[in-house]
Amino acid sequence: MSHKAGFVNILGKPNAGKSTLMNRLVGEKLSIVTPKAQTTRHRILGIVTEPDQYQIVFSDTPGYLEAKYGLHKAMMRFVEMAIEDADVILYMIDVTDPSDVESYRTEILQAESKLIVVLNKVDQLTDESLPALIESWKVLAPKSEVIPISAEDGLNTSLLMERIVALLPEGEAYYGPDELTDKTERFLAAEIIREKIFLNYKQEIPYASEVGVDAFKDEGKLLRIEATIYVERATQKGILIGHQGKELKKVGTAARLDMEKFWDKKVYLGLFVKVKDNWRNDDRLLKYFGYKLGS
């Protein structure tokens, strides 16, 4: 059999389970996952290589949303790029969200790429609605396969993987056999901190926060990581730090434990908090945080 390789891009609404699925298919926690919408802000590659057989370059993407800030516009550019360069699109639908069928994206259904409609979170269905849901998606996307899965439990994810490989075009590998992602260790460290912020605070704090890693030093037995959390207002800084620094400490400890697991090493994590007014609409800062802007 000749070698296969291609870009398999995961698209869908916020909270559909895109990052959960990519992590499962890649077998590493590359993308952060939280119960809150708009967790993922970047396009994150996850690479699976089966030597002499195939290489799948998955892309996790931000969930679709109406852009209110410069940040959102940058996020939606990542989504547009992922529609354009996909060989295979995994269009992910959350079966627990009834609005998903009504608000499907025609630009995805009409994209040139091959399409698999992935009905996620079927572990949550308590009624007999799945067969009708599958049928309704077969009508919307007659040329595509419709596969019900649970990204969290792993139900049908091996079958999904088989179908993805079947749809991959022939071609040479894009990345080296040991490469896992396009993202740097600094980026992954910043994301782990952002996940803990999403999990630890309610309402606007997660959305008003961004994380920049200032230092990432491998000192042999210890990884020394220093990072700054940026918020938009002084009041948010107070909430983030909490009484006697308690809340920030919780975030720091949870992030450090995950980092130690991911890098299999002891980690020292230093966290600082700074206010950057209106960073979500500031092109210069958005660029600094790694968002691609432009027309």
Ligand X SMILES: Nc1nc2c(ncn2[C@@H]2O[C@H](COP(=O)(O)OP(=O)(O)OP(=O)(O)O)[C@@H](O)[C@H]2O)c(=O)[nH]1
Name, in order, each residue with C-beta under 8 angstroms of 214's C-beta and a sequence gap of 6 or more.
Answer: 226, 227, 228, 272
**Is 37 near ligand X (CB under 6 A)?**
yes
Q: Quick one: 243 exposed, middle or buried, by C-beta within 10 A (0-12, 13-18, 19+)?
A: exposed
Distance CA 187, CA 180 (A): 14
**Is 17 near ligand X (CB under 6 A)?**
yes
**Is 63 near ligand X (CB under 6 A)?**
yes
Distance CA 196, CA 189 (A): 11
Using CB positions, name the residue nearest to Mg ion: 40
Is the Cβ of residue 5 or residue 190 nearer to Mg ion in the bound state? 190
Parallel/antiparallel/unpaired status of strands 54-60 and 88-94: unpaired
Which of Mg ion, ligand X, none sits in contact with 120, Cβ below 5 to 8 A by type? ligand X
- From the list 1, 2, 35, 244, which residue makes contact with ligand X (rule: CB under 6 A)? 35
Interaction with ligand X in 129-188: which residues (CB under 6 A)? 150-152
**Is 226 near ligand X (CB under 6 A)?**
no
Which of ligand X, Mg ion, none sits in contact with 14, Cβ below 5 to 8 A by type? ligand X
What is residue 75's DSSP assignment?
H
Is the Cβ of residue 18 or residue 24 nearer to Mg ion in the bound state? 18
Size, binding site for ligand X by CB under 6 A:
23
Neighbour order of strands in the sheet with 44-50: 44-50, 54-60, 4-12, 88-94, 114-120, 145-148
Which of Mg ion, ligand X, none sits in contact with 20, Cβ below 5 to 8 A by type? ligand X
Which window, 38-46, 230-238, 272-280, 281-289, contacts ligand X (CB under 6 A)?
38-46
Using CB positions, name the residue nearest to ligand X: 63
**Is 39 near ligand X (CB under 6 A)?**
yes
**Is 123 near ligand X (CB under 6 A)?**
yes
Among positive and negative, which fits the CA dihedral 116, 120, 123, 124? negative
| Contact set with ligand X (CB under 6 A) | 14-20, 33-35, 37-40, 62-63, 120-121, 123-124, 150-152
